[in-house]
Structure 1
Amino acid sequence: MDKSTLIELSEDRTNGQTKFFQAVSNSTGAISAFIPAVLLIAGEIKGDKPMVQKALYIGESIAVSSVITWGLKYSINRPRPAAQYPGEIAAASTGGSPSFPSGHTSLAFSTATALYMAWPKWYIGVPAFTWAGLVSYSRMDLGVHYPSDILAGAVVGVGSAWLTYKANEWIRRKHTTKNPMTALR
């Protein structure tokens, strides 16, 4: 299924479509860096401590996702589709690291999930997850990732954001609850 999906996508690819999906794909790093940076700066300027904490959480989620993704990429070391099936799958872009999981997808879904968890509103979630979905699809359309790479990247991205959120909750609870032993003194 992985191979046949990519062959079909590359056969139907148009020049305009390739340019669009390359732009979407290229937006991943910039948008994922821009969102927490702008939120952090705005929170500091406004003196809005919750916004600063949310910006840091989004940045932490992205970092956790990146570490897990890179660890998996080099542990599994799956070749890119065009390298594994030369002549059958045409890549319209390049990728510099192993294929599994998709780093762009992991980054986009980590960013979208963390942003939505920080501000759980439909008008945040819909554009964030639409963008993450477009990034994911672009990686397949460009022929640089298999569908299974995309699925794994989405799971890593969403999972990283969720785990980071839960870790931050646990840390906050631990710092806000008083030690019961000190109350006895």
Structure 2
Amino acid sequence: MRKFVIICVSMFCIIGAQAQNWDINTLHKINSMDGKFVRNYSKVFSRSAPYISVGVPVAMAIYAGIGKDKELLKDAVYIGTSVAEAVVLTYGIKHLVGRERPYDRYPGRVHPYSTESSPSFPSSHTSAAFSLATSLSIKYPKWYVIAPSALWACSVGFSRMNEGVHYPSDVIAGAVIGTGCAVVNVYVNRWLNTWLFGEKKKTPGLVY
């Protein structure tokens, strides 16, 4: 039994070391892409994440209020709460894990084009972007919504690595959290709609 435990612990350490090597090696390659186009691309998309993630549902809610469009308002509430849930969950995990930023952990290999005060894992920009992209795609399952939304979310994730502020694993985790929150919130939102709009809960399904 003792030998089995030792073998399991050793394998876990080896796998963990290999994963960490992949993380920093991949980040180093992406962070080293310092051409003018790539840098400007990353700068724009990295900084766009908070504004677009908040701005889209807020704009939808305002437009719905002006036009007295109840269905659009429900969509705005769903999308807004999906993003909010993803961000809250992400920040909770950040402070629970407390992972050091890559530019602090590897100052000789990672150049930060911007700095952050919060822990590294997972990426909140990426989780918000993927939550917005997924919730928009669920509500409006058309190629002209899905394609640009997915491209924008992926670009945000890439930009965070190119900026040197996140490991690939941070970005992947953020994407999973954001996507998951948008999917789960479809069901949570039924209860919210009952409370806000006095509607009866509907049968399960992603699109309703």
Give TM-score, length-normalised by structure 1. 0.90
Give unmatched runs, 5+ long, in structure 1: 178-185
Is residue 105 of structure 1 aligned with residue 129 of structure 2? no
CA contact (8 A) 1:61 1:110 kept: yes
Find the counterpart in structure 2 of residue 158 from structure 1: 179
Residue type at the aligned position of 2:190: E
CA contact (8 A) 2:32 2:162 kept: no
> CA shift at 1:170, angstroms?
5.2
What whole-Å deviation, never above 9, does each CA across 1:84-115 have from its counterpart, x for those lacking one? 11112112221221000001000100111111
Of the three residues 141, 155, 174, the one matched with 1:134 is: 155
Is residue 117 of structure 1 aligned with residue 138 of structure 2? yes
Task: Report the more deviating stretch, 17-26 or 71-80.
Answer: 17-26
> CA shift at 1:118, angstroms?
1.5
Is residue 73 of structure 1 aligned with residue 94 of structure 2? yes
Structure-to-structure mapping, 1:17-96, within 5 angstroms = 17-96=38-117
Residue type at the aligned position of 1:9: I
Assess, with a 3 A threshold, how the Cα gap between structure 1 residues 95 and 28 changes in structure 2: closer, same or farther. same
- Residue aligned with 1:143, SS: coil
Q: Which structure is higher in RCO with an 8 Å CA cutoff and minimum separation 6?
A: 1
CA separation in 2, counterparts of 1:92 and 1:15? 13
Give unmatched runs, 5+ long, in structure 2: 1-21, 202-208
RMSD over aligned CA atoms reads 1.6
- Residue aligned with 1:30, SS: helix
Of the three residues 162, 166, 189, the one matched with 1:145 is: 166
Residues paired across the two proteins, number = 177
